[in-house]
Amino acid sequence: MTMTSEQAAWFADTFEKLVANVGQAVLGKEHVIRLTFTAMLAEGHVLFEDAPGTGKTSLARALAATVQGSNNRIQFTPDLLPSDVTGVTIYDQKTQKFEFHKGPIFNNIVLADEINRASPKTQSALLEVMEESRVTVDGVTYSAGRPFMVMATQNPIEQAGTYRLPEAQLDRFLIKTSIGYPDHASTVRLLGGSNLKDRSKELSAVITTQAVADMADLAATGHVDTAVLEYISRLCEETRSAPETRLGVSVRGALAMVRAAKVWAASQGRNFVLPDDIKELAPVVWTHRFVMDPEAEFSGATPEAVLARILADVAAPQQRTNA
């Protein structure tokens, strides 16, 4: 059943309230908040490549407070073990049974701080839960619940002692973006409220986690015209055949775009996706999935420039279609 116009209007109104509420704690970053909520409602994950101290932890806490959800922060270090993330099975001598003690991954919003500092073995512990929202330990599968979102961070300037994220893991992030430093006016407001160490504690919940799951289900019913689907497919094919890339956008990346575009359209009160939605989301949904050719990269080619050229070359469908 396709989302109705009335449902799309309700979705957009609720989405605005969510963004405004988080905006009280994370000042001057409305666009980033919108992208993060888009990922949450598309049931995806976000990778932030940012310098320290830009408000990533505050954003995670504010999101959790807004949706009455739980959150946890995992500091990724070289000695972190997979069981430190997922949990461990321990034998209880009193009951003479093995009991599973859940790890920090079992929260609605999980901040994986400096994810590229952990070993590949530990990073691999996230692959199943990020793709399927479940964790398997000792042959037993546990659900991560809904909503569930990993917000991972990595420092773009200090690479000593880090491990490059494998392509399979990068591909599991719906969006890659950065918060960046606030503008002058927002910085002044932050400095004026320096007595508030955690602004998220001042927030009231807007909706419940169950309502978030319902919104995600509703967004999934948005209409995507065949012409728009063909447009997405052509763009993906061009990223794979571009001379500057070794790997372009995967099928998972194409599906991620459809999910994100449905949420993005609904957040604007539409129950149908436009080609402009694809163009607007493409830089944050697709560029981190490119594997660039080393020679082209050495010559100055960037994923952003390659994608911009492809978006300019591939004609978008002109017809505006709603359900």
Q: Reduced to 3 states, what is the DSSP secondary structure of residue 266?
A: helix
Residue 79 lies in a domain: yes
pLDDT of residue 97: 86
Would residue 187 be called left, alpha or beta, if left means φ above 0 and alpha means ψ between -120 and 50 degrees? alpha
8 A C-beta contact, residue 263 and residue 41: yes
pTM: 0.90
- Distance, first Cα to last Cα, the chain: 10
Residue 181 lies in a domain: yes
8 A C-beta contact, residue 254 and residue 215: no
pLDDT in single tens digits along all 323 residues of the chain: 789 999 999 999 999 999 999 999 888 899 999 999 999 999 999 999 887 878 888 999 999 999 999 999 999 999 999 999 999 989 888 888 888 899 999 999 999 999 988 888 888 888 889 999 999 888 889 999 999 999 999 877 666 667 778 788 888 999 999 998 888 888 888 788 777 777 778 889 999 999 999 999 999 999 999 999 999 999 999 999 999 999 999 999 999 999 999 999 999 999 999 999 999 999 999 999 999 999 998 999 999 999 999 999 999 998 554 55
Residue 215 lies in a domain: no
β-strand pairing of 109-113 with 97-102: unpaired
DSSP letters for 208-241: -HHHHHHHHHHHTT-B--HHHHHHHHHHHHHHHH
pLDDT of residue 168: 81
Residue 160 lies in a domain: yes
pLDDT of residue 322: 52
pLDDT of residue 161: 60
Residue 266 lies in a domain: no
8 A C-beta contact, residue 88 and residue 73: no
β-strand pairing of 291-292 with 245-247: antiparallel
pLDDT of residue 159: 62
8 A C-beta contact, residue 270 and residue 258: no
Residue 297 lies in a domain: no
pLDDT of residue 92: 85
> In angstroms, what CA-CA distances link 46 with 138, 152, 277?
28, 6, 18
pLDDT of residue 27: 87
pLDDT of residue 167: 82
Say which CATH number the domain at 121 has: 3.40.50.300
Residue 280 lies in a domain: no
The sign of the torsion formed by the CA atoms of 73, 32, 64, 4 equals negative
- Cα distance between residue 174 and residue 130, in whole Å: 10
8 A C-beta contact, residue 272 and residue 322: yes
Total number of domains constituting the chain: 1
Range of the domain at 115: 24-188
Which residue from 155, 169, 201, 189 is spatially nearest to 56, judged by alpha carbons? 155
Residue 4 lies in a domain: no
> In angstroms, what CA-CA distances link 195 with 181, 187, 190, 244?
20, 14, 9, 50
